[in-house]
Structure 1
Amino acid sequence: MRPEDEPDVARVLAACDDYVLVATGSPALPADVQSLYYSLPEGADLERKHLLVMCDGPTVVGVVDVVDGHPDRLGCSVGLFLLDPRARRTGMGTRVAQHLLREAATRGIQYVTATCPQSWAPGRAFLVKMGFEVSAPAQDRGPTVGNRLRFPAEQGLCTAVRKLDGAPPDAGHPDRGTP
């Protein structure tokens, strides 16, 4: 994401109020784009944070927020993977996710974590389709979720983990192997 993409990303966030309201309890605001730059869990390295835009031709239609090397050097956390409603169900999200998963594996990442509100059925279905194991919400996981801090209104967030090709069987499992 470049500074000149910010108005388009703000438009995408506003168009995705169906998700934003479920996830945060309030509508998207223009300042939410700026907060994407700085939203980082404790202990994570800002240099390892990546904000990516998805484009359909010259038009920005989605945004991805990723921190590699989190929660440990073998993992990668996705804080946001969001497509404008007009771009959903076109296959773009699947193609982008598959590309990013392949890219992560080539960089030695062994597992990817993501979060999704339990009440956001389209997101949970997408995660399952992409091969993630989605766990029920856990209240004892603290204020950090995925690669960002949890907002007070965010309740019922499911954690999803996907092991990448070549990863050991327990990679990314919260109770075994790497966290």
Structure 2
Amino acid sequence: MIDVPGERVVVREPGPADEVPLLTLFGECEDWFVAVTGLPSGPGDVQSLFYALPEGASPDDKVLLVLERDGVVAGLVDAVRDHPEPGAVAVGLFLLAPWARGRGLGRALAESLLARAGQVPLVTAAVPAGWRSGERFLERLGFALDAAVPAPAETGSRWTGPREGGVRRAELRRTGTG
């Protein structure tokens, strides 16, 4: 359990029984998928979540956390330890159902990830260029955002979609850690 005033919230690792709830979450977060790829979530997105890694990363460094609110999957974070450099954490996917946004649940999920990752000096993330709610969320967490960069033709683990836009890279440098 984590503390979110007025909410019964649990952050945990996903299990086999989470496939259908995660499919539901991905469907609910169509706005995010369209902002990132130009398309809604596809049939294999949940399964690939468990296997997709940046080049050079180890499967042992993968961190997946599910956020439940009152027993319903409301969020998900996918991160990789020791990427893009030793001691860092790279957040690859951070989803929160639209009905769960603006309640402090995203901050609780981010804080849970950081607590599980330990005292890392660098956390990286990306947000779709122009996804203002995501940009504000990262800024409130203390991330510094770069200017938008265009989407590459290949991201390392997959080819980008034909309507995929650019992203803004974000970094959170944590002093007194490491």
1-structure distance, mates of 2:140, 2:158:
26
Contact 2:152 2:160 in 1 (8 A): no
Structure 1 residue 151 corresponds to structure 2 residue 164: no
TM-score, normalised via structure 1 length: 0.83
- 1:118 aligns with 129
TM-score, normalised via structure 2 length: 0.83
CA shift in 2, pair 1:140/1:31, >3 Å: closer
Percentage of pairs with the same residue? 38
Contact 1:68 1:75 in 2 (8 A): yes
2-structure distance, mates of 1:103, 1:165:
17
2-structure distance, mates of 1:33, 1:138:
26
- Name the structure where helix makes up a greater proportion of residues: 1
Which consecutive unaligned segments of at least 5 residues does structure 2 have?
1-13
The one-letter code of the counterpart of 2:168 is C
Which consecutive unaligned segments of at least 5 residues does structure 1 have?
169-179
Q: Which deviates more, 152-161 or 74-83?
A: 152-161
- 1:13 aligns with 26
Residues 63-142 of structure 1 aligned to structure 2 (within 5 Å): 63-104=76-117, 107-139=118-150
**1:110-157 per-position Cα deviation (integer Å, ceiling 9, x unaligned):** 110001111211111100011000101234978448xx6562343211
- Give the aligned length: 164
2-structure distance, mates of 1:66, 1:21:
21
2-structure distance, mates of 1:165, 1:4:
39
CA shift in 2, pair 1:167/1:154, >3 Å: farther
